[in-house]
A and B are shown apart, each in its own frame.
Chain A
């Protein structure tokens, strides 16, 4: 079975632009979470979606938004890009939102802001 897939792999944008990142969860997984990983740091939680509803949000500005589609895939949108948004964006899926379930990660989208 395919794992979590993310697209694109790499992306270069300039300040002020908008970006959309995409994620397809493992088949059968209904929960998708997004993380930002700055170089040399651990992943920081951005959003969690379950059954197409937002179930959690980390400490990120309103420029960050996301949604989950009926097929459980997800998009992360970032508006008005800043240099500090340069990072690896990770998507993770789990079967449900159930406590203690391991999250399975994709390889990420590397976003560079010039």
Chain B
């Protein structure tokens, strides 16, 4: 079956620290992979995506690389800001474009 496992939170970092949020997946076939972000009081927003192995998605300083050999799609950012405080969800899209989400990782960045 299809599933996504995300790093447990919450994560608290100081401003300008390096961020890694781990995500691994199980899928039949070759899924597309996504990171969504949910800011406080707002809906889910697409952060970045990758559709095939070795693709790197990037947006707003965040990056993630689709690693087929390790079935991973870890989210990274070199220097976080207070405005990055949110809940981050890793997701995969399987056949028929049905999405499967991880449980989410809450990030708090302190000044």
Contact = CB atoms under 8 A, between A and B. Distances in A.
Contacts of B42: 107
A45 B97 contact: no
Given A100-B51, A107-B43, A108-B43, A48 B103 contact: no
B49 to A, nearest CB: 6
B43 A56 contact: no
A113 to B, nearest CB: 22
B93 A100 contact: yes
Interface in A27-70: 31, 33, 35, 40-45, 48, 55-56, 58
B104 A101 contact: no
A103 to B, nearest CB: 6
B43 A43 contact: no
B89 interface: yes
A53 B35 CA distance: 28
B99 A103 contact: yes
Interface size class of B (residues with CB under 8 A): 20 to 34
B34 interface: yes
A98 interface: yes
B97 A98 contact: yes
Given A99-B32, A102-B49, A42 B98 contact: no
Contact of A104 (B46, B96, B102): B46
19 contacts: A31-B97, A33-B99, A35-B101, A40-B104, A42-B4, A42-B101, A42-B103, A42-B104, A43-B101, A48-B96, A56-B96, A97-B96, A99-B32, A99-B95, A101-B93, A102-B46, A102-B49, A103-B97, A104-B46
Interface of B: 4, 6, 32, 34, 36, 42-46, 49, 51, 89, 91, 93, 95-104
Interface of A: 31, 33, 35, 40-45, 48, 55-56, 58, 90, 92, 94, 97-108
